[in-house]
Amino acid sequence: MPDLWSQFEGGYSDIEELLDETGREADEGVRQFAWRWQRTALIAWAARAHLAVEKRIYLRLPRSPQAHQLIERGLEEHMAIHELLSELERVAGCDPRTWRVSFEQLRTMLELHAFEAEGVLVPYARRWLKPGGDELPVLLQVAKDIRARGRIRAMPSPR
């Protein structure tokens, strides 16, 4: 797989500047994770573009074709995260906010499956996961099934 980041005609600071210009700063957890794995910054950027579209807010994008390619790919992966959450909700038969899965268990699940989505999904998880519970095997199986169907691409661990 080519290093898409190297094709971008700018750098991390350029993305930061664009995020600030739009008034949609990246979630601090995503931003910190992005320092260790820059590609996550592109997912965060695409997530902000997605939110801007949902709210009918105009987002200025760079004119570089490579940058647009990166945004499209990041947005596709961001939407796959939403799809994962919806699928987990459907299979578990409950609202994700009622899951009693600990933060540590979810983090283990993400690490086991090497999801590139960790930097985006974990901040969401902090808001609604509760200590205790035994739903982790169900979540692991659903995550495995979704990835097997190619709906979420596994990536190397950032460690």
Tell me if 122 is assigned to some domain: yes
pLDDT in tens, 10-23: 444 444 454 444 43
Report the C-alpha gap between 6 and 139 in whole angstroms: 34
Contacts of 37 (CB under 8 A, 6+ apart): 119, 158
**Domain range holding 130?**
4-148
State the burial class of residue 5 (Cβ atoms within 10 Å of its Cβ: 0-12, 13-18, 19+).
middle
Q: Looking at residue 35, what is its pLDDT?
A: 42
pLDDT in tens, 111-136: 444 444 444 444 444 444 455 544 44
Tell me if 73 is assigned to some domain: yes
Both tokens of 117, joined, read 């989505």
Q: Which residues pair with 49 in a beta bridge?
A: none
How far apart, in Å, are the Cα atoms of 66 and each of 8, 77, 107, 112? 6, 17, 32, 31
Q: What is the tally of structural domains in the chain?
A: 1
Contacts of 45 (CB under 8 A, 6+ apart): 15, 18, 19, 26, 71, 74
Residue 87 pLDDT exceeds 50:
yes
Tell me if 111 is assigned to some domain: yes
Tell me if 154 is assigned to some domain: no
Compute the mean pLDDT over every residue in the chain, rounded to the nearest whole number: 47
